[in-house]
Each structure stands twice: as structure tokens, then as C-alpha cells.
Amino acid sequence: MTPRPGPWTRGKAYYARNASRMLFREKIAIAPNRPLVSFTFDDFPRAALLEGGRILRSHGKQGTFYVSLGLLGKESPSGEICNREDLIEALNDGHELGCHTFDHLHSWNTAAVEYEQSILRNREALRELLPTCDFESFSYPIAAPRPSAKAKAARYFVSSRGGGQCANTGEADLNQLSAYFLEQSGGDLAAVAALIEENARRKGWLIFATHDIAGNPSRYGCTPGFFEAVVRAALSSDSTVLPVRDAVAVLRSGAA
């Protein structure tokens, strides 16, 4: 039997999960005229666009694809990462490209200086590939950020997204927005639909996150059928579906 972690270990884990949420906050009121839903993809594996992007496009909607350009074209645990042509296709389809650090760095274990350098390198790489494009949104790779990494990211982006498995309601922190990872739902569509309905009732902003969308997904992704059902549930809730950048603009303008 594996021994239970002691109080010190549990305390360290709690601190790692929650320390950054208390610091370097940029508050925004979550009070849209209609509830908001965003679909986001971390790492930008090709399958995210080929299937997830296709599904969103079939409903006339767009998402946010967070990319680490140091991984471009490489194999990853969530499948083959996108290439330059995929970046162009995503933009042509109206999707947003977001930053995920150049090196896909661990957001808790990486020193703040190295973390910032990787953010800047990712921005430079994007400008080399697509000179007229820039990142406005960011998501933290692998883990919740240490406070110093959060402070670095806040210098460069309109918003930064974490996890948390919950919606953003009432008031949110633009420097650490909450998201719900679909792969952590265990394929329980009823639970996801209930969260969508609760977000609609509270007129909140629900950000979904995942990685690959494939018939045989990695442990970090989900199937096209499940993703399609979630998109349909969001649309049937009378929510406005927008990329992260555009949802922030709606909240700042007070309109939907």
C-alpha cells in the first residue's frame, strides 16, 4: 500500500496549486449580456485543428490555439505538433493563436528569468514565421504558475489561462483565468453539460481546454464525437462562443 502523503507534502501541494492565485491579479468583472464559452487547445497538435477546428468551423465558431513554436512539427505526447501551414490555416479560419512558451516550460519548476526568455523567444519566432501576427493570449504549460512566472507573463499578454476545472463567474483574474480540461471529465457528457448550464445560469465565462481531438486520442485529448457534443451543448445553452481574445474584449466593453 502506498503511504499517504504527510501534512508537509500536502501543504506544499496546496501552496503550488494556489499561491499564484493570490498574487499579481488583474481583476475583471464577469458580467456579459449573454454567457460566454471559449474552446482552447494547448500545445496545438495538428489533430486539434484538423478535427477540433473543423467542428468549430462547421458551426461558424472559432477557438484559441496555444502554441509552443519550439515544438513545431515534432512528435509529442498528444501527437504531431502543428506546422507553419497549420498556423496559416488556423488564422485564415478566424481562430486565435496564443502563446504557450517557446520551449513548453513547466510553469512551476522553471525560474522566472528562463520563463520570460521563452515567452519572448516564442513571440520572436511567430514574427519570423508570420510577420503581421502577434500573441495576445497565453496559457501556462503543464502546471499552475509560480507567482514570479505569473508576474512575467502578465507583462506581455491581455490574458493568461490556467486550469482549475471551473468557470469564471462574478469576478476573474485575467492573469490566471480558470479553465475546464475536457480530458479530465472521463467522457461524462452529462457532467460537462451541467457545467455549461450552470455557467449560462450565472452568466459566466466557461473556458474549455484540451489537446488533440482524434478517434484514438491521447490521454490529453478527446474524441471528435465527444467534442462535437460539447460544442452543441454550448450552442444550445444560448451562450456566445468566442476565442479568448474576443471574449476579453466583450467583457471589457460590457456587451455580448
pLDDT by position in tens, the chain (length 256): 445 555 544 445 555 556 777 787 999 999 999 999 999 999 999 999 999 999 999 999 999 999 999 999 999 999 999 999 999 999 999 999 999 999 999 999 999 999 999 999 999 999 999 999 999 999 999 999 999 999 999 999 999 999 999 999 999 999 999 999 999 999 999 999 999 999 999 999 999 999 999 999 999 999 999 999 999 999 999 999 999 999 999 999 975 4
Residue 22 confidence (pLDDT): 73
CA torsion sign, 248 to 121 to 85 to 141?
negative
Whether the Cβ atoms of residue 51 and residue 213 lie closer than 8 Å to each other: yes
Residue 5 confidence (pLDDT): 56
Residue 1 confidence (pLDDT): 46
Residue 49 confidence (pLDDT): 98
Q: How far is residue 93's CA from residue 252's CA, in Å, rounded to a whole number? A: 25
Q: Which long-range contacts (CB under 8 A, 24 or more apart) does 160-163 make?
A: 161/40, 161/66, 161/98, 161/137, 161/207, 161/209, 161/244, 163/209
Please enumerate in sequence order all residues whose Cβ is within 8 A of that of 123, keeping only pairs 6 or more positions apart, or say none: 99, 134, 135, 156
pTM strictly above 0.85? yes
Residue 24 confidence (pLDDT): 79
Q: How far is residue 230's CA from residue 224's CA, in Å, rounded to a whole number? A: 10
